[in-house]
Amino acid sequence: MTTPLATNRPDSETLKAFESDLNKIREETIAKVGDKDARYIRKVIRIQRISDMAGRLSLVLGFFNPLFWIAGVALLALSKILDNMEIGHNVMHGQYDWMNDPHINSRKFDWDIWGDGESWKRYHNHEHHTYTNIIGKDRDYGYGLLRLSDDITWRPKNRFQFITYTLLSSFFQFGIAYHEVAGERIFAGKRKENSSLPISREALKHSFFSKIKKQAFKEYLFFPTLAALISLPMFFAVLAGNLVAELIRNWWTSSVIFCGHFTEDAHTFDETECENETRGEWYYRQILGSSNFEGSRGFHILTGHLSCQIEHHLFPDVPAHHYVDMAKQVQAVCAQYDIPYNTGSFGQQYWTVLKRVAKYSFPTEEEQRIATS
Amino acid sequence: MTASSNGLMQQSWTWFSQALTQHDTFQGYFQPLIQMLAPQWSTDSYRAQIVDIRDEMDDMYSLVLKPKTGLIDRHWPTFQAGQFIELMVEKEGTRTLRCFSISSSPAYYEKTGLIELSIRIQAQGRITPWIRQQLKIGSLVNISAAQGQFVLPQTRADDQNLEKYLFIAGGSGITPFRSMLQQISSIASNSREQSADIQLLYYSRNNQHVLFQQEFEQLAQENSGLSIAFIDGEESGFICTEHVQAYCSDYYLRTAFICGPSPMIQQARKVLTELEVAQDKIVFEFFGAAPVEIESNEQGAVVFQTSDKTVISEEGSVSTLLEQAENAGISPVSGCRIGVCHQCICKKKSGIVFNTRTQQYSDTGSEEIQLCISVAQGDVVLDL
């Protein structure tokens, strides 16, 4: 059920103090942003480039020893995960725009995944980050495929949603690419009446296909063909390697994201209650709607610091590698004001995600009664 | 190859690069790796090494730069006397650009491979004092290719009817003239011909602050065609019709070149116009951003659509859209901030903007604009 905010929220005095405490954390962090951050992101980019090239080379060397093939898949998956999570997602949030670097800014960046960066920025930064976990407004909530709350009417297809979830995670890059196109009912469904799409439907369709064409050319044609020059069967070895690397990346990103908003205790909200929110109320909702998980520094980097989903939702444009430090401060502030702060190990959090997917496969008792009567 | 098939090749190559690297060029993708071998290598600028830093006066210094040559570096294209370059430095992780005239001559560059920039320390500036403190001999900086229209028309050696010039310089606005005079002098000494006829009016704050005075006196001695009037601003005041008439009685035969601080340029243009010098005989270059000259500045809202922010611009205030965006906490890519580098280009969805560089008002429709030299006139919607 959606969390009734009006009755659950701390009083406005408390929220005001809470807001200024969070603002202070933000200001103190922003003051530290500089040289070190520029060096950090460039280093991550270098590691990504090297693992990309080494991965593709290693896949071909699989011709001599299959162990190379396995290493190649791992390196390529690492490259894609770093590119999508720690680099792409964060750069496209504008976290590094202050660097004024023509290659590391939200306006120019595009990532190594099917979803076109421009399209993703349009719906993600605005829609998902503004309407986080508001049923009916945040289309990222269950991606229009999964029933993750009993505010959504149960349908017979939800019975199989564990399979849907498995498919969604496996083809997550298609899901991300298709998201805005689906929202605008480009190929199917009744045309949206009051769409705020800033580009024409034709242009949206074009960028959707154009990006997928480029990605498919690279992964399923160009690099396999290059390998086929050594020996024909290598075409399939490299193709398979690329597909497995994509599959690993898809499952990883999907799992990280699901742990960010769909854990057992992540709240959902009703649209009417979120109108005219103050900054403090908005902070409060972002915290209730998100969840963190803990891990080592390397682990945080692989999640693009979405392991600190709460901090990401509070401060989406602060360079993400500061989130780990900010999380300690945010958690302390939450404790002070008695505001729930949802965190745990990755295993624990992921287990509750699976439970949630399973739980809402079934109708509520109410719905069952209506169905049987 | 025809032009269109050339274009097609280019397009296919860009597509190929985008498909493989998500970057418009392969160099863009490999830049971070190339930088491991060649620090500060970049796709959109040239690398130059600081060979010398010379203090000229208490608030003025010259950087002597050697554009890098070699396998990794593209060849820096040469320049015409009077042109400027963008100097890019990274301060606290932020890449910052400033434009400076080259104060040495192309002939000198050909001979030594060196160029000089003479930079005034802006007391309140973020960058010019910082460069002086932080950069050391041997440091690398990034520079653009030379650009700008503030150049002398190409005169052929066999041209009998050599043009005559009136140069008017104010303070550090002397730098492009130093380049021109050095160049003319070096050509003249090589060809042993009569050098061009030039009258230079050189305004300084006072007689303690005359940049390159000795050098100019020597140039005037060596070149019979060159005559220089050093004018002490404290003593003689700003440029006026009397000055022009007194120091350069045949001003009406000459093409005027003006460079200096904006108020001085405005004043010099006014004076020459009063003296009925034709507009096409007046060439000038603003040092820094062109001043905003708007007669009426309407109040209006600037909507930054992508960032979902709206800024109300107050009546009478003239900040550029770039400043407004930055004040609203949006950081668009920016560069020179004077309308040269085109990095802050942004799609205007609707509304009228005033371009401070061209002094033109835009159309109301959708078009690309440069944020750093655009001032909103009424309501403007930006795709930012």
Inter-chain residue contact A99 with B332, CB threshold 8 Å: no
A38 contacts in chain B (CB < 8 Å): 90, 93-94
Express each pLDDT in A101-137 by its tens digit.
989 988 889 999 999 998 898 888 778 888 899 988 8
Going by C-alpha positions, the residue among B208, B199, B237, B201 that lies closest to residue B60 is: B208
Which of A103, A110, A122, A219 is the best mutation test for B, with the most CBs of B within 10 A?
A: A103
User: What six digits make up the tokens of B333?
Assistant: 């890519």
B202 with B237: CB under 8 angstroms? no
The answer to whether residue A226 scores a pLDDT higher than 90 is: yes
Residue of chain B whose Cα is closest to the Cα of A113: B22
DSSP-assigned letter for residue B370 = E
Question: Is B295 a residue whose pLDDT tops 70?
Answer: no
Q: Does B303 have pLDDT greater than 80?
A: yes
Helices (H), A198-294: 201-216, 223-228, 234-261, 279-289
Quick one: how far is CA A44 from the chain centroid? 19
- Which chain B residue has its CA at the smallest distance from A56's CA? B20
Token pair of B88, please?
A: 């890019």
Nearest to B93 among A38, A102, A198 (CB): A38
| Structure confidence at residue B231 (pLDDT) | 93
pLDDT tops 50 at residue A369: yes
ipTM of the assembly? 0.92
A24-71 per-position pLDDT tens digit: 999 999 999 999 999 999 999 999 999 999 999 999 999 999 999 999
What's the predicted TM-score (pTM) here? 0.86
CB contact under 8 A, A100 and B36: no
Closest listed residue to residue B170, CA positions, set B209, B206, B203, B134: B203
More confident residue, A188 or B286: A188
Task: Please name the residue of chain A whose CA is at the shortest distance from the CA of residue B97.
Answer: A100
Chain B CB contacts of A115 under 8 Å are none
Confidence of residue A368 (pLDDT cuts 50, 70, 90): confident
- Measure A214 CA to nearest chain B CA, in Å: 4
Q: Per the CB < 8 Å rule, is A39 touching B93?
A: yes
What sign results for the dihedral spanned by CA atoms A330, A296, A44, B12? negative
Q: How far apart are the CA of A351 and the nearest CA of chain B, in angstroms?
A: 35
Which chain B residues are Cβ-neighbours of A218 within 8 angstroms? 19-20
Is the model's pLDDT at A319 over the cut of 80?
yes
Least confident of A211-215, A364-368, B334-338: B334-338
pLDDT of amino acid B160: 45
Cβ pair B135, B94 in contact under 8 A:
no
Within an 8 Å CB–CB cutoff, is residue A270 touching chain B? no
Residues of A in contact with B305 (CB under 8 A): 198
| C-alpha span between B367 and B382 (Å, rounded) | 10
Q: How confident is the model at residue B63 (pLDDT cuts 50, 70, 90)?
A: very high
Question: Quick one: average pLDDT of B149-170?
Answer: 74
Give the mutation candidate from B22, B33, B95 for the A interface (greatest A CB count, under 10 A).
B22
Q: What percent of chain B has a predicted confidence (pLDDT) above 90?
A: 51
d(C-alpha A122, C-alpha B207), whole Å: 59
Calculate the average pLDDT of chain B. Answer: 87
To test the contact with chain A by mutation, choose from B17, B333, B384 the residue with the greatest count of A C-beta atoms within 10 A, namely B333
Q: What is the pLDDT of residue A351?
A: 97
**B210 or A1, greater pLDDT:** B210
Q: Is A45 on the interface with B (CB under 8 A)?
A: yes
CA separation for the pair A163, B27 (Å, rounded): 43
Question: Count of alpha carbons within 13 Å of B260, Cβ hemisphere only?
Answer: 21
Q: Which residues of B touch A45 (CB under 8 A)?
A: 32
Q: What is the pLDDT of residues B330-348, one digit of tens each?
A: 888 887 787 766 778 888 8
Name the pLDDT band for A161 (thresholds 50, 70, 90): very high
CA–CA separation, B77 and A336 (whole Å): 63
Give how far the C-alpha of residue A179 lies from the chain's centroid of Cα atoms, to the nearest Å.
12
Report yes or no: A150 and A226 within 8 Å, Cβ to Cβ. Answer: no
Pairing type for strands B282-286 and B255-260 reads parallel
User: In this complex, which of B28, B35, B93 lies closest to A37 when CB atoms are compared?
Assistant: B93
> What is the mean pLDDT of the segment spanning A12-17?
94
Q: What angle do CA A367, A369, A373 make, to 5 degrees?
A: 125
Interface of A with B in 94-113 (CB under 8 A): 94, 97-103, 105, 107-108, 110-112
Whether residues A98 and B331 touch (CB distance < 8 A) is answered with yes
